[in-house]
Chain A
Amino acid sequence: MRRFNVPLEHREKINLIVVFIVLLILIGGLAKLQIIEHAGLARQSENNRIRVAPIIPRRGVVVDREGRLIIDNRPSYTVSVVPAEISPDTTLPNLSHLLELDTLQIKEQIHKNMVNRYLPAPVKRDVSFETVAVLEEQSTRYPGVATQVEQVRQYQKGIGAESFTGYVGELSRADLLKEGRDDYRPGSMVGKEGLEKQYDRQLRGQEGTAYKEVSAAGRYLGDYEGKEPVPAVEGADLVLTIDIDLQRICAQVLDTFCCGAVLALDPRNGEVLAMTSYPGYNANIFSSVMPESLWQAISSDSTHPLLNRPLNGLYPPGSIVKFVTIGAALQQGIINENKTLRPCTGGFKYGNRVFRCWNPQGHGSLTAAHALEQSCDVFTYQLGLELGVDGLSWYFSRCGFGRPTGIDLSGESPGLVPSSAYYNKNYGEGQWTPALALNISIGQGELLVTPLQLAQFFCGLANDGIVYQPHIIKLISYTSGKVDTVSSRVSFTLPFSPSTLKVLWEGMRLVVEGKHGTARFLKNERYSLGGKTGTAENPHGENHSWFVGVAPLEAPEIVVCAIVENAGHGSDVAAPVVGKIIARYMEKKSKPAEVALRSAKELQ
């Protein structure tokens, strides 16, 4: 036992050694952190306190051809939540009560829009000033809630422009993953439809980056001075080919009907002067969180306000496309400008079936131009039979039907031009009758067109067969000073010779100016006008009423195409609609000052 007893001087030494070892361990620990791991830990310390905050650029504005605002931005209040700072027991219930959203919706919003726990996630945009005042006054009841001023989109109301403006909405986390867009964050406002979608990259500009110093609680203390912020690049402004004066009258003339669409194009360059889909919707509502009930109401509305009719409305074109059939027959030498066919007695017997003309009294013997004037079905049936399904199909395709026009707006429908291949596929080889050609020849049957395709076709007729690419953007003006001008370019040429076009041109003239013209009431002394009526039979209800007008006829500047759904004859409904629009155009041309003054008043 004795040998384990330690003498005092040894104990003193051992004690000093213990002190020394403790000191060495601590110095070792210090050196490890402060020398070896210094660089990494210093970086962590910087990361701790610096948060990257996006600087949201101003979204570009959209103006009409004369610089009048169609889409603007206005400041609004956004209520956001900093997820790291909320107190679950008080924040959500109180906020739910104030914003009239249930807590589940708020949670969804936070989840959807959260970037990280320390950055505010927008919950509701465009709240009233009263709401903000409550939040500021009673801030203790709303821990973790922040209000910010953000720019929201403001769409010019009452001009039915949604069909091309589209709208913006919040980008959800799911969309972000799906589309793989790394320049966006959840909760960013992005274009969902129309121009807003098609030109989203140009309109939105480039986000900047601010470096903010934060406390451990995530509270923003101000700008971090060690790093220069990267400024945002503001979005580009768009100048459209649209003329608001014309746009407004388009929206107004459809106002008394259920549904329809109007398009005005300049045949000389393909510029879209006006375009509206009726009924429209208020694009402003999409900028904020939309209540589920409102969304339900809009999407289940039987008048389909979200359907963009000029681009996506698929209709049988009716008699309007007699221009294609008769043009094809002239071109093929089946008829010439003076040749008359078997006289119309109100019907045409083919096989054991009688195909009737719209006029049961019959039209008698007609030349091509007069057949167009009176829209004689029997005349056209005979040509359709001669041309056959594939002959018609070839000419329809060459006239721009059955494929998108390529307008600079997204989501255009191609329409449908049936061919024998199509019928073989759908009905079986040889299981269909050539009489289907009769239906196609007068724009019925499977043939489906969009209003834009019809307008484009008439632009070609009005412009010596040359079809310009329809477009709605005139120029894009970047903040850098760069301006992209969209130049007009030829899209295709109609498959008609000048002599054929001359006959068709005469047909257009006679529809308005002829003694028996189906739209003769549009005739006036001030300017010459041509066009074609169409009455499309609709298996689901009343006929669709079509009219395409061209003015002034000797040197066409405008083509207006209108469809009014379930409204009856083309001459009764759509023709007066187009007449009013063309009248406004011609009025503006002759008295620009007066129209401009009136327009300025209405815009207020």
Chain B
Amino acid sequence: MTLNYRELDWELIGSVLMLSLIGILLIMSAQYYADSAFERTYFERQLLWLTIAVFVFAGVIHLPLRLLDFSAYLLYGLSIVLLVLVLLVGTPRMGASRWFSFGPINFAPSDFAKLALVLALSRFFAYTKLPPVSKRRLAFSAMLTIIPVALIIKQPDMGTALVFFIILFGLWFWGGLSPVYLALILSPLVSLVAASHWLAWAVYFAVLLVFLFLFRPGFLFGVVMVVANLAFGMITPFVWNRLADYQKLRILTFLDPGRDPRGAGYQIIQSKIAIGSGGIWGKGLLHGSQTRLDFLPERHTDFVFSVLGEEFGLWGSLLVLLLFAFIFYRAVRIAARCRSRFASNLIIGAAAILLFQFFVNIGMTLGFMPVTGLALPFVSYGGTSLVLSWSLIGLIVSAHYHWQEY
């Protein structure tokens, strides 16, 4: 398939490329003073990965959208098989088996599964004749989502599992589901959290009932929601006990980082110190003491934004935020313009993944989101994440290029 390259969305591509290069610069700075030569060359490997990612991106934009549409369920099926396989034969690292290792390359099938779910859900919502609030429509799409989520929770990886739900909710909304319903459907999860204290739960329930009374979404739906909320509230203690210790610790630490400043809260505290001490102008490239002296953990991966905040200050951070904002803005505009519902869904699904990771990751470095292990798209070190993010951009650019097609 030949493309008229002038018609591609070069502004979007340029923004993404710029973010990726900023990422490489930060990774270099993050490990510039590292003891091992291996760590010092992370940025070189990220550069190699960027090259690969750009090739994959090029591949994606050359694929006919119709082919993706056609093979969506097939790819989805493949992703499920890989997720099962990784549980059986994956390489365990740090208590989780999330990766297939091929020599130096680690491949996380959960990243591929995100892409596959976006395709599958986009296809389903594009062709279903069921109305947005129909039970069968909601149930089927939820099932498509829950199967990979269940497998990923088994790995275990809560952060990634959440991303799948975000894709689902994003596409539910884009498919026409009212935010009121969306809020109600999500309410049992809020109930789960609120039930950690009886008073909070009581208040929450009162609010829920008022909400139901105001919007009257239908009698049966209302009753189901109340029952679901009750049920979720009551299983809170069981869920809590089922969580692994490190997960409990993450939640407790999120609520109060000071409770364990040398342990789990350490990362959050040090990240806040790094970003805050950067001030408006930053300490300058390679001059971030938090970064240079090892205080900042995971500084080339999850906490790469902290390096940015410390060394480039507010202006550098704002630049990155605005680049991201531009990408989301462009994605939404394109999605609304696309004539193909499949392509439109595809864009929203892709953008939802990126937006969620963007928000949770930076929120974590700023100290108001829990430590989930979600990377910052394009910027954090990590090959599969970079390739996946570029693939998602590939889908958006491709949909933009073909916006007139049905």
Contact = CB atoms under 8 A, between A and B. Distances in A.
A48 B295 contact: yes
A12 interface: yes
Interface residues of A, number: 42
B355 interface: yes
A27 B321 contact: yes
A600 B257 CA distance: 69
Interface string A18-52: 11101101110111111101101110111011000
Contacts of A20: 325
A4 B178 contact: yes
Contacts of B279: 34-35, 38, 42
A34 B293 contact: no
B383 interface: no
A11 B173 CA distance: 8
Nearest to B336: A12
Nearest to B175: A11
Given A5-B176, A35-B314, A215 B294 contact: yes
Most chain B beta-carbon neighbours within 10 Å: one of A4, A6, A32: A4
Interface in A449-481: none
A15 interface: yes
A248 B270 CA distance: 63
B358 interface: yes
Contact of A29 (B133, B329, B368): B368
Contacts of A46: 289
Interface of A is mostly: helix
B295 A216 contact: yes
Contact of A40 (B276, B318, B329, B368): B276
Contact of B273 (A9, A11, A41, A213): A41
B274 interface: yes
Nearest to A30: B317
Interface of B is mostly: helix
Contact of A215 (B181, B293, B325): B293
Interface in A400-431: none
Contact of B314 (A25, A31, A49, A221): A31
Interface stretch (B60-68, B359-367, B394-402): B359-367
Given A4-B217, A34-B280, A49 B173 contact: no
A30 B133 contact: no
Contacts of B280: 34-35, 38
A1 B325 CA distance: 34
A354 interface: no
A16 interface: yes
Interface in B285-337: 289-290, 293-295, 309, 313-314, 317-318, 321, 324-325, 328-329, 332-333, 335-336
A30 B363 CA distance: 9
A297 interface: no
A214 interface: yes
Contacts of B368: 29
A45 B133 contact: no
Contacts of A34: 275-276, 278-280, 309, 313-314, 317
A281 B131 CA distance: 100
B132 A5 contact: yes
Nearest to B275: A33
Nearest to B288: A45
B27 to A, nearest CB: 19
Contacts of B174: 11, 15
Given A22-B359, A34-B279, A48-B273, A27 B318 contact: yes
B321 A41 contact: no
Nearest to A27: B321
Contact of B133 (A1, A12, A35, A49): A1
Contacts of A5: 132, 176, 178
A217 B294 contact: yes
A4 B181 contact: yes
B41 interface: no
A45 B359 contact: no
B276 A221 contact: no
A19 B325 contact: yes
A14 interface: yes
A29 B317 CA distance: 11
A8 interface: yes
Given A19-B329, A33-B272, A49 B363 contact: no
A574 to B, nearest CB: 67
A26 B362 contact: yes
Given A4-B178, A26-B363, A41-B276, A48 B332 contact: no
B179 interface: yes
A30 B314 contact: yes
Given A26-B359, A26-B366, A48 B180 contact: no
B89 to A, nearest CB: 33
Contacts of A19: 325, 328-329, 332, 355
B329 A16 contact: yes
Contacts of B276: 33-34, 37-38, 40-42, 44-45
Contacts of B325: 19-20, 23
B332 A214 contact: no
Contact of B274 (A4, A35, A45, A214): A45
B277 interface: yes
Nearest to B272: A33
Given A15-B348, A45-B290, 10 more contacts: A1-B131, A20-B325, A25-B359, A30-B321, A33-B275, A35-B314, A45-B273, A45-B276, A45-B277, A213-B293
Kindly list the 5 A-B residue pairs having the minimum CB-CB distance in the complex, ordered from nearest.
A41-B276, A4-B178, A45-B277, A29-B366, A216-B294
Interface of B: 131-133, 173-174, 176, 178-181, 215, 217-218, 270, 272-280, 289-290, 293-295, 309, 313-314, 317-318, 321, 324-325, 328-329, 332-333, 335-336, 348, 355, 358-359, 362-363, 366-368
